[in-house]
Amino acid sequence: MGESLTATQTRLILPALCWSRYRADFYAVTADLSVTGLRFRSSVVPSLGEILSCSIRHAGSMEAQVIEGGKEQFITRVIRAEAPLPVIVRRLLDLAAEQNGAEVPQRVHPRFVPDSPDILVTMSCGTRIPARLLNVSASGAALRIDIRLEPGTQITLGRTPATVARCFDDGIGAAFLQPLPAEDLGPHVLL
């Protein structure tokens, strides 16, 4: 446990139950979270490419693919989760902050300011509200909007489905239901 973490890793210790179609249930413990993926420690080390279902205490259930393995540890990349991926990442980072007693970086993807910041937000009832994008990333956007929206509210930004992830003065942070493709990212983005 005395190993040091890199600047891109955040220590996170949570018990997990993992299984797959070809493997019996086994216990693992998360070790850290990084842009590479979620590292687990376990006496069972799944094969590279294996798809696991994992139930992580306080974080929820997810499907993940093993992308790296080693002695009593493996790294996974989340494929699907019970909530949108940005919401799961936020939950994991919040848990890490509680455990580590300090604020951890909240940026998962690089942010940029769009060339065309004006956008319409469509509510589930069909009502459209004008808003202004502050920044956009592959996983979500921050925007100024004149009404109060509660976290968890389903909305559409332009044509992109999203969920309200957080609220701040005069605006919201929204998590896209699916990450934007890399080729669509940049100041030229159209949601």
> Over the stretch 9-65, which tens digit does the pLDDT of each residue have?
788 899 999 999 888 999 999 999 887 889 999 999 999 999 999 999 888 899 999
Long-range contacts of 144-147, Cβ-Cβ distance < 8 Å, separation of 24 or more: 144/170, 144/171, 145/121, 145/170, 145/171, 145/172, 146/170
Position 103 scores a pLDDT of 54
DSSP 112: B
All structural domains of the chain: 9-90 (2.40.10.220), 118-184 (2.40.30)
**7/72: higher pLDDT:** 72
Position 5 scores a pLDDT of 56
> Over the stretch 102-124, which tens digit does the pLDDT of each residue have?
654 555 677 888 999 999 999 99
Q: φ, ψ for residue 91 (rounded to 5)?
A: -60, -45
CA distance 82 to 5: 28
3-state secondary structure of 183: helix
Position 2 scores a pLDDT of 43
Q: What share of the chain is helix, strand, coil (3-state, %, to 5)?
A: 10, 50, 40
pTM (global) more than 0.75: no
> Over the stretch 167-188, which tens digit does the pLDDT of each residue have?
888 889 898 988 888 888 888 8
Q: φ, ψ for residue 184 (rounded to 5)?
A: -90, -5
